[in-house]
Amino acid sequence: MRKITVAAIQMSIPETREKSIEKAERLVREAAAKGANIVLLPELFETKYFCQERRYEHYDLAMPLLENPAIKRFSEVSRELGIVLPISFYERDVSNFYNSIAMIDNGEILGVYRKTHIPDDHFYQEKFYFTPGDTGFRVWETRFGKIGVGICWDQWFPEAARCMALQGAELLLYPTAIGSEPIIGCDSMPHWRRCMQGHAAANVLPVIAANRTGTESVTPDDGNAHQTSELTFFGSSFITDPTGEILESADRESDCVLLREFDLDEIRTERYEWGVFRDRRPEMYELIAGK
Amino acid sequence: MRKITVAAIQMSIPETREKSIEKAERLVREAAAKGANIVLLPELFETKYFCQERRYEHYDLAMPLLENPAIKRFSEVSRELGIVLPISFYERDVSNFYNSIAMIDNGEILGVYRKTHIPDDHFYQEKFYFTPGDTGFRVWETRFGKIGVGICWDQWFPEAARCMALQGAELLLYPTAIGSEPIIGCDSMPHWRRCMQGHAAANVLPVIAANRTGTESVTPDDGNAHQTSELTFFGSSFITDPTGEILESADRESDCVLLREFDLDEIRTERYEWGVFRDRRPEMYELIAGK
């Protein structure tokens, strides 16, 4: 038996970075008080979703890993509470900007993963802000199991989930910022969930997604915004079992903490018994790697 | 606009090959009469699921493509009705046995796909009967769209679905024979569905699955069966939309025909708008191909 409790935090984002970090910390402490060993915050929770519009000034939001205030703060919180915290942040290295997460285990930064798949749409203009990640998919051996993290748009790619599973991931975490589609006009929430439920089902491991909530707007009156736009983030954070069934589910509006205990040894047995990894045929998959 | 209607046939399997082909033909004609252009029958519908036990005599069920009575019969039916029929059959070539499908379009055999992933469990002893397929994943340009077919266990592998999507599949079809798990004791039906719903969601195309129903038993009194065993096939055939939502759903027991019309041009537009194929990073997926 190897029992762990994982939590997903859903929240709307306050006006300032300082207030966002304070709010996130309050929710992380609430999750830990309820027994969470691993706590997942949403993608880029330090700020409003700045990718709604293109502004060169937003590049200033990016910082080197060790200068980022959320990384500094949550390293301390992780050590104090003895928990695992994957922290999403806007990373600047020598010449590039990345959409990254740092895996923090008991105060120690185990490493960084940089978002591999970068979306681009009218109000999700991420290709303007983020260079596609160069780290490859990563899995970390933490004190509470082997954890893989994909960042938002990565969640739409079965390849990302599979690459993490093949490296031994026992849990897949997806920090997220997704909401309305003002141009296409669809509600992508069920599609979004089914995609990740599929990753859980195919890889026989739990999937945890933490999304933001709230409506965020920019108007031409805001500094140098070029057009009015508005996104409503749909929350709907969830935790699945290893067959993809949703065990814990948040609504579209609330700040909340979802928690679930898993026995990772029991799930490993279930994964072995199902036999899908035994029967893979890598030599038949070259098209996926572009060969 | 490029509208097509696809049908999934769910059926229990009669005692003899002749009766099974007759029953399948009756249901195919029913589907065509209701407007189906593409009709999917379940996996190996000619016979009871012989893989419950190991018997060398069952190798005699395998035949070369052009000698198989279902292939012969449904080539005629396909030509008469002007429809597409992917026909599952137990194939013998010079020295091997395969679990195969032949894609028949208006009476013409466009080609054969041999099941890539072969399961092996107490009463699903397929590794005894089938050599893992050597054709690679295949997609056929039919008169009613580009169609990819995975066979049963293939449905658990996101790689199979992706390889077909990357070759331009507009519909993914899965003939199936799946039911109870007497040893593990689980009901894998919802897990099974979620896995394929995930393929639909991730590849933004409809998925159609046709399963058998009925309880099939063998006992030591049956010829040289070595142990008593029994499987109840769970039906639950379905058709999804390109977001993975189940649009048509069969129960666990009935013989039935599911039908759905799709506009393949509209779905292609939806797939392009979603942008997931644009944003793939094949150079990051080498682990999947075993590199």
Q: Report helix, strand or coil for A24.
A: helix
Rounded distance between C-alpha atoms, residue A134 and residue B284, angstroms: 9
What residues of chain B lie within 8 A of the CB of A241, using their CB? Answer: none
- Please name every residue paired with A256 in a beta bridge, in sequence order, or none if there are none: A10
Rounded distance between C-alpha atoms, residue A97 and residue A132, angstroms: 9
Q: Are strands A3-12 and A212-218 parallel, antiparallel or unpaired?
A: parallel
Length of chain B: 291
Q: For the residues of B143-207, what is the DSSP string, one character each?
A: TTEEEEE--GGGGG-HHHHHHHHHTT-SEEEEE---B--TTT----HHHHHHHHHHHHHHHTS-E
Quick one: tokens of A225? Answer: 């915004």
Of B153, B243, B276, the CB nearest to A190: B243
pLDDT of residue A264: 98
Write out the catalytic residue numbers of B: 43, 115, 152
Q: Inter-chain contact A281–B190, Cβ cutoff 8 Å? A: no
Confidence class of residue A228 from pLDDT cuts 50, 70 and 90?
A: confident
pLDDT of residue A64: 98
* Cβ neighbours, 10 Å, residue A134: 11
Whether A224 has a pLDDT exceeding 70, the answer reads no
Whether A290 has a pLDDT exceeding 90, the answer reads yes
pLDDT of residue A287: 98
pLDDT of residue A227: 76
Query: How buried is residue B178: exposed, middle or buried, by Cβ count under 10 Å (0-12/13-18/19+)?
Result: buried
Strand (E) positions, chain A?
3-12, 38-40, 84-92, 97-105, 108-114, 139-142, 145-149, 171-175, 207-210, 212-218, 229-234, 238-240, 246-249, 256-263
pLDDT of residue B114: 98
Point out the catalytic residue in the list A91, A115, A170, A248: A115
Whether A222 has a pLDDT exceeding 70, the answer reads no
Q: Inter-chain contact B153–A286, Cβ cutoff 8 Å? A: no
Length of chain A: 291
pLDDT of residue A184: 86
Task: Please state the separation of Cα A112 from the chain's center in Å.
Answer: 13
Expressed in percent and rounded to 5, the helix, strand and coil fractions of chain A are 30, 30, 40
Q: How many CB pairs under 8 A join A and B?
A: 165
Listed as ranges, residues in chain B with pLDDT below 70 are: 222-225
pLDDT of residue B184: 86
* ipTM for the assembly: 0.97
Confidence class of residue A219 from pLDDT cuts 50, 70 and 90?
A: confident
**Average pLDDT, stretch A239-253?**
98
